[in-house]
Every structure is written in structure tokens, then in C-alpha cells.
Amino acid sequence: MGSSLAKRTPKKGKRSKRTERPRKSWWGRLFRFGVYTGFLVSLGVAGYLLYLDRNITKTFEGRRWSVPAQLYARPTELYPTARISLVELETELKRLGYRLDPNLTTPGTFKRRGRQLDIHLRDFRFMERHRSAQRITVYFNGDEIRQLTGRSGDIPLLRLDPAVIGSFFPSHGEDRIILTPDEVPELLAEGLKAIEDRGFDKHVGFSLRGILRALVANIRSGERAQGGSTLTQQLVKSYYLDNRRTYERKLQEVAMAFILDARFSKEDILTAYVNEIFLGQNGARAIHGFGLGAQFYFNKPLTELDPDEIATMISIIRGPSFYNPFRHPERALERRNRILNTFHKDGLIDETQFNVAVAQPIGVVASPNSAGAYYPAFLDQVRAELKEVYDSSDLSSRGLRIFTTIDPRLQDDVQRSITRTLGQIETDRRIDSGALQAAAIVADTQTGEIQALVGGRKGRVDGFNRALSAQRPVGSLIKPVVYLVALEQGHHLASIVKDEPLTLTPPNGQPWSPKNFDGEYRGDLPLVRALAQSLNLATVHLGTTIGLDHVQNRFADLVGRAPRNRYPSLLLGAEDLSPMEMLGLYGNFASNGFRTRPKAVIAVLDERGRPLTHHPFDLTQTIQSGDVAAINRALEIVMAKGTGRSSPFARQGIAGKTGTSNDNRDSWFAGFDNTYLSVVWVGRDDNEVTGLTGASGALRVWNNIARQQPITPLQHPPGPELVAVEFDTGLRAAPSCADVVMIPVPDKYELPIKPGCGIRTRVRDRIRRWLGN
């Protein structure tokens, strides 16, 4: 046992292997762990920053020049003999944002001198050429222009710059007018720095002092009350981040602002801020950037804003709702004046400018919808036409310039007429206020160019577009198609048709016994009277004689689609159409026998002004000249002696037709003179009974529209000579002894003469009286 113990005892002077290995310090282990962890964290941070860098650069480069397509209205044309008064031209200039200035200091100004207007026009790039800013003088003679002069003498024709009527902003609703650095006023650039970020030119995207100041304020208040954000950080929040207010998101914001500042120049960042900042909301349309903000709040370009107006817009940044100048003008005015005081102290404006600016009222337009023009219903039609050629991304980002057919003056007249007339009808008939709705379209009779389109009672609010999307029974508006087919089959307007009871039982259908509106029967009568008085029984008798299938085929030719209703009730308008489809149908009559597709777009230019597409009107003859002359004459008689006779314009060369659906749910009117074709619908969205006929509803709306525009009587193409026939019977008669209408009758027909009232009889009686004397 002793020997074994001796073996285990180490020899003197030697140490075991375990005691020779040095013991590792835990401090060393901790150090190495820290190095490894720091390396990994640094690698992660570097990777994250690299990711942020690429993401920020790509998004910034793409988004700062992502420009929604801008849409322009038809420009007002000025020329000698143009029917526009001095007051009307003043109104149009104010609509375009021109302002009174006795010195015409800058473009966008005008002044009045007696019976003339001096105008300093803005420069504008039209479809064909660029027009430089210039001064002109317009001389008036009564309600028309007598002469236009410029630097080089008389001007035969001049166009005002067209109104901007909207943009095709993306689906998230952001709209903006993109500005280049040269288009940003110096006062705006320096004013933004003075109010929002004094260290902008020196810091690296964020301000440590600002962050610490905000942190102290937040600790004292016990909540996240301040953010200490620079202009660059505000831009980062708008471009990349959501609205959460957390410290983690704040760190991300600082990192991104640092990268943005390192990658891009201060001028680029400031310009992007000017184009991006949120300045208010107009329905679904978000107002972004000072370019659009100037149009929205002051109805003029940013470059024409005065110091007080620039200060007002800067004041809105802190709280577009809180400092909304439409809802809180006193609050906005107080902040504006504080900003003007800062401008003055910093030497951005002098003493005189300051005194003038603070003395101004808040100065915004009367309401959000009176700044410039915004017509969402018309824009729906433009989209519908352009989607055949362009993707939605092209319309919302490529900066296209779209020239359209809309006439803003006429559009506003139509909208006011609808709003005013519906209110009058509701009062007169004791209908709940706001229950009625309406739609109306006005187009050029020859080209089909849509000059006004109203989709509802509130025209500048996005919503259901009844002009394009409301499919409603058209009632008697379809009857001219039946009478046209009869004319094409050899009948004439004096041909006799029966107005008496009948019952039809179509195959696999129920017996149908139509009735006249008043429940009466009139026996034999001429086609012209049957159409003028919109007699249902006469129309059904005529339709069964000429063949329902022929009417259906003709409907398809004129409308562009087959009718959905294959039963005889189609003859009385039991067919749903939209006002736009009805415009297409009546366009065949208004254009003297040609189908012209309604159009809203004239041309599309790219961001450099180069033409991309031109949209000429297409023309297809659908009705022979003699037949269309006869049907249009019959529609004139509808106005003069039939269901349209209550109109004050009934005998002024207007052709038209009223329409009423079953149970008086829908009220329609379609009418045209030599210039305009109009379609009006009045009804309820819930399809309840209105109690209105075409004459008591839609025709009243049209009457108010017509009061705003001069009537140009129809001019009929050459055709058969007009013959005087008695309205009740269709017999030839003299005006002195019968109630006659003048209708075209082909020479091959010899009409019977009313006994004792023929032209020859009246001449013979006059000779006898003369001989007797």
C-alpha cells in the first residue's frame, strides 16, 4: 500500500500537467464575446444601412418625379364678333386665377379701362405650339368682342390658357403638381427653412439639438408631444414611414434622414419636400405639395403668390386640419401673421412688404371646390376612353398632358341648373329635400365632343356617376326609333296610324295591353301627331305593322348594342340605358344622320409636350338625309305642339323628346339645336316613384340650362318641300282655316286635302270675294 502511494506522489521539482495549463480569466472570455457580438451587430447594422440606402435611393429617385397626368379644359377662344361680354370675360379670367392689377406687373393679371380689358397673359404650351407671356387688349361692342390687339397689331384669334380640371392621381388619392427647383420661389424656400428647419443648410439630415430639446419636452409632459424633426426627417416620414410615434421608429427616421442627406443635394431634398408635403384633403383627393396647394387654396400658380399667401401655406404644414383656412380662418390668420413677422425679422421681406402682407385678409378662395375646377364625373369618361390605350400606372406617374373637350363655363351652368331646379321641384311637389337626383350631358351636335357632364346633384364630389353608370328605363325617348323605321319603310309623317286598344301575346309571354298616359283613345291620326303627343297605343300599332325585329335591329345600329328587351314593350321604352348611351342614340339625329361616338379626349402629350395620341372624331352614316330631316322636323313639332310645348324655347328651332318610365319613376329629356345636344335624367337612387313626367322634371332642368346659352335654330339639310297639313288629321290644309304643321312629304305622295280648307279652295274663295267687290 505504501508503494502505491509513493507512485502517486509527484517528484520534487516537477508539476502535473493539470497545474501547468494556465487558468483562463472570465474577463477575457467576456471581452472576446463582446468583440464577436460587436462584429456581428456592426455587420447587421451595416447590412441594414446598406438595405436602407438602396431602398431610399431607389424610392427617392422614382417618386420625386412621379407626376400624375394633368387634364386641361377646352380653352376659351377670343376673336372679333365672339359673343362674350366684358363682364363674362372678367369672370372667365378670375376663374383662371387672373387678378386685377392696374400695372399688369406679372403674367396672370388684367385691368379694365372703360369698354376694354388689358390682359397680361401667362405663357402656355398648347397642343400645337408654345405661347409666350404677352400683353393684349380686348375691345367690346355690347355683348361681343369688337377687336383684339397686341404688340404686333390686330389679333384674328387668341386662346386663353385652359383651366386645369384635375389629375389622375394614384389609387391612394395623392394629387400633386410637380415643380422643378427653378419653379420654387425663393421666399418659399427660405421661409420654410426659417419656420420649419433653421439648420437645414448645415445639419446632416437630423438635428441632435432638436432631438434633445424634443426629448426634454416629452419627459416633462410625460408623453410623445414633440418630434424635433428636420425638413429631411419630415420628408422621410412622408415617403417611407407610417404615423406611429415610437422611439424605434424615430431611430429609423434619423438613420434614413442621414442617408438621404448624404446621397442627395440640399436643393433636391428641399424641392422634393415642396412637392411632397401634405396640405389638405378634398374628398378622396389628398392635396400634396405647394404647386397644387397654390391652385387649391388660391387658384393661381405658385410663382404668382404674394408673401401673405406663401405664409398662409407654410402655416398649414403644422396641421392641415387645425389650420384649415376654410374652416378656421381666424386660427390660420393668426399663425400666418406670426410667420410673416418671422419673415420680416429674418430680412426675407422688407418693412413695406410686411405692412402690406399683414393687412391682407386670409385670401383663400370661397370654398375648396371653387379653386380652379375639379369635375370627377367628366374625369370618369376621360378614364374610360384612355384605358383602351394607357395603363393606369402611365396615367398616374408619367406626367402626361391630356387636352379634353369640356367647357368649364357650360359645365358650371349645367351643374347650377341641376342643383337649382331639383330644389325647386322638391319644394313645388313637397318631395323630401335632397331625395331627387339627376344627370346631364351636353355635347357638340356634329363632333360628339362632350362639353359638360354632370353625374349627380353634387357635381364636384366623387361618387356614383349616374351619367355613365345609371341604367334606367328610357320610356318614350325610344319612340323616334320606331317612327324612323316607319319612314324608312315608306311611310311619311302624314301617314295614318290607329290609336285604339290592343292586346299582344308574344310567344312564351303574358298578354300585354298597353294604354295611353291619359287613358284616352283618339282613333286615326297622322304619325306626326302620334309622336308629338307621345301616344302609346299608336306607337305600338305602328311597331307591330313595321315589325318588332326591324325596330330591334335599328336600335342596335343607332346605339351600338342590341336591346336586352326582346318583347313588344321595347316599343314604349322598357329598355334600360344610361344617359351616355342615350346621348349616342340621339347623336344620330342631331348630326343629321351620322353616328359620332361621344368623346372627351382631344389629344395626349408626354411630359415634354410631344404628341402621343390624337383622338379624332369618327363618323359613320346611319340614316339617309331625307329620313333624318323628317324625324328631326317631327321632333321640332314635339316641342312646338306636343309634350315639350311647356318649354319657353319650344318654338325656337329646338328638336326634342320627353320620356317617362312606368309609375313616373324616371323623367327624361333629350333635345338639340344646331350647336348642342343635351340629355337629362331626373329620378331617385332608391327607384321610388317621383310623380314626375319628362316635361315636369327633366325638361325643367334643360330649360334652365338653355337660359344660359344662346339657342341656334336647327338648319335642315336639303330635302322634300315642306307641306302644310292639319295637325289632328294629317290632311293638307291652309293655315288660315286649320291648325297646321309644316312637314316634309316626298313628291311621290299626293296628300288628300281637308274639305273647304285646301290651298286651291282658299285662293278660289278670295278671287270670288274680290270679283264680288
At 47 the pLDDT is: 65
- Quick check: 154 pLDDT over 90? yes
- C-beta pairs of 458-463 under 8 Å, 24+ apart in sequence: 459/375, 459/377, 459/411, 459/415, 459/418, 459/419, 460/369, 460/374, 460/375, 460/376, 460/415, 461/283, 461/376, 462/283, 462/284, 462/285, 462/376, 463/376
Number of helical H runs and strand E runs in the chain: 25, 31
- Quick check: 768 pLDDT over 60? no
At 235 the pLDDT is: 84
Q: Is 238 helix (H, G, I), strand (E, B) or coil?
A: helix
The C-alpha cell at 175 is 394629387
At 766 the pLDDT is: 46
- Quick check: 721 pLDDT over 50? yes
In CATH terms, the fold of domain 75-161 is Penicillin-binding protein 1b fold (3.30.2060)
Neighbours of 690 (CB within 10 A): 25
Q: What is the pLDDT of residues 250-302, one digit of tens each?
A: 777 788 888 888 888 899 899 989 998 999 988 777 888 999 899 899 988 99
Q: Is 55 helix (H, G, I), strand (E, B) or coil?
A: helix
Dist. CA 473–CA 477, nearest whole Å: 9
- By CB atoms closer than 10 A (0-12, 13-18, 19+), residue 147 is middle
At 228 the pLDDT is: 56
Average pLDDT over residues 729-738: 94
Q: Which CATH superfamily is domain 450-708 in?
A: DD-peptidase/beta-lactamase superfamily (3.40.710.10)
| Cα separations in angstroms, 645 against 14, 236, 246, 473, 634 | 133, 65, 71, 23, 13
Identify residue 562 by its one-letter amino acid code.
A
One DSSP character per residue, 708-764 reads: TS------PPS-SPEEEEETTT--B--TTTS-EEEEE--TT--PPBPTT-SHHHHHH
Dist. CA 561–CA 553, nearest whole Å: 9
At 259 the pLDDT is: 82
Q: What is the pLDDT of residues 446-481, one digit of tens each?
A: 999 999 999 999 877 778 999 999 999 999 999 999
Closest CA to 493 of 657, 720, 649, 718: 720
Dist. CA 681–CA 418, nearest whole Å: 10
Average pLDDT of the chain, as a whole number? 87
Angle at 534 between CA 559 and CA 598, to 5 degrees: 25
| Cα separations in angstroms, 628 against 330, 474, 488, 624 | 62, 21, 10, 6
- Quick check: 223 pLDDT over 50? no
In percent, the amount of the chain with pLDDT more than 90 equals 63
Taking the CA atoms of 79, 85, 89 and 90 in sequence, report the sign of the dihedral they define: positive
Closest CA to 196 of 315, 297, 344, 362: 315
pLDDT band with cut points at 50, 70 and 90 for residue 747: confident
At 531 the pLDDT is: 98
> 703 or 13: whose pLDDT is higher?
703
Yes or no: say if 230 and 200 are a contact pair by the CB < 8 Å rule.
yes
Cut 0.85: pTM above it: no
- Quick check: 8 pLDDT over 70? no
Q: What is the pLDDT of residues 604-653, one digit of tens each?
A: 998 888 888 887 777 899 999 999 999 999 999 999 999 999 999 999 99
- By CB atoms closer than 10 A (0-12, 13-18, 19+), residue 628 is buried
For residue 472, what is the enclosing H or E element? strand 472-473
- Quick check: 12 pLDDT over 70? no
- Quick check: 555 pLDDT over 90? yes
What spatial distance separates the first Cα and last Cα of the chain, rounded to whole Å?
182
Average pLDDT over residues 345-367: 92
- Quick check: 202 pLDDT over 50? yes
For residue 682, what is the enclosing H or E element? strand 676-683
> 462 or 676: whose pLDDT is higher?
676
Yes or no: say if 161 and 122 are a contact pair by the CB < 8 Å rule.
yes
- Quick check: 78 pLDDT over 70? yes
Yes or no: say if 105 and 306 are a contact pair by the CB < 8 Å rule.
no
Residues in CB range of 189: below 8 A, 6 or more apart: 270, 274
Yes or no: say if 462 and 571 are a contact pair by the CB < 8 Å rule.
no
At 374 the pLDDT is: 76
Closest CA to 571 of 529, 543, 535, 545: 543
Neighbours of 685 (CB within 10 A): 12
Average pLDDT over residues 72-83: 94
- Quick check: 412 pLDDT over 60? yes
List, in sequence order, the alpha helices (H) in 106-226. Answer: 186-196, 208-221
Greatest alpha-carbon span in the chain: 184
Instruction: Identify the DSSP state of 181.
Output: G
Angle at 757 between CA 753 and CA 762, to 5 degrees: 115
- Quick check: 336 pLDDT over 50? yes
Q: What is the pLDDT of residues 359-409, one digit of tens each?
A: 999 989 876 665 556 788 999 999 999 988 888 777 777 788 999 999 999
Yes or no: say if 726 and 743 are a contact pair by the CB < 8 Å rule.
no
At 332 the pLDDT is: 95
Yes or no: say if 643 and 435 are a contact pair by the CB < 8 Å rule.
no
At 5 the pLDDT is: 41
- By CB atoms closer than 10 A (0-12, 13-18, 19+), residue 689 is exposed
β-bridge mates for residue 368, sequence order = none
Average pLDDT over residues 319-334: 94
At 369 the pLDDT is: 60
Yes or no: say if 464 and 495 are a contact pair by the CB < 8 Å rule.
no
User: Considering just the CA atoms, what is the radius of gyration of the chain in Å?
Assistant: 38
Instruction: Identify the DSSP state of 143.
Output: T
Closest CA to 327 of 341, 316, 338: 316
Question: Which residues are annotated as catalytic?
Answer: 196, 476
For residue 538, what is the enclosing H or E element? helix 536-546
- By CB atoms closer than 10 A (0-12, 13-18, 19+), residue 113 is exposed
Average pLDDT over residues 212-226: 55
Average pLDDT over residues 544-558: 97
At 38 the pLDDT is: 67
pLDDT band with cut points at 50, 70 and 90 for residue 334: very high
Q: Of 45-59, 687-701, 713-727, where does mean pLDDT reach its minimum? A: 45-59
Identify residue 336 by its one-letter amino acid code.
R
In percent, the amount of the chain with pLDDT more than 70 equals 85
At 616 the pLDDT is: 79
- C-alpha torsion 742→748→752→758, nearest 10: 50
pLDDT band with cut points at 50, 70 and 90 for residue 763: very low
| Cα separations in angstroms, 584 against 36, 560, 626, 632, 661 | 77, 8, 20, 16, 20
Q: What is the 3-state secondary structure (H, E, C) of 595-625?
A: EECCECEEEEECCCCCEEEECCCCEEECCCH
Yes or no: say if 169 and 235 are a contact pair by the CB < 8 Å rule.
no
Q: Of 2-16, 84-98, 145-159, where does mean pLDDT reach its minimum? A: 2-16
At 458 the pLDDT is: 86
- C-alpha torsion 485→486→487→491, nearest 10: 160
- Quick check: 176 pLDDT over 90? no
Q: Where are the domains of the chain?
A: 75-161, 450-708, 729-772
The C-alpha cell at 624 is 339617309
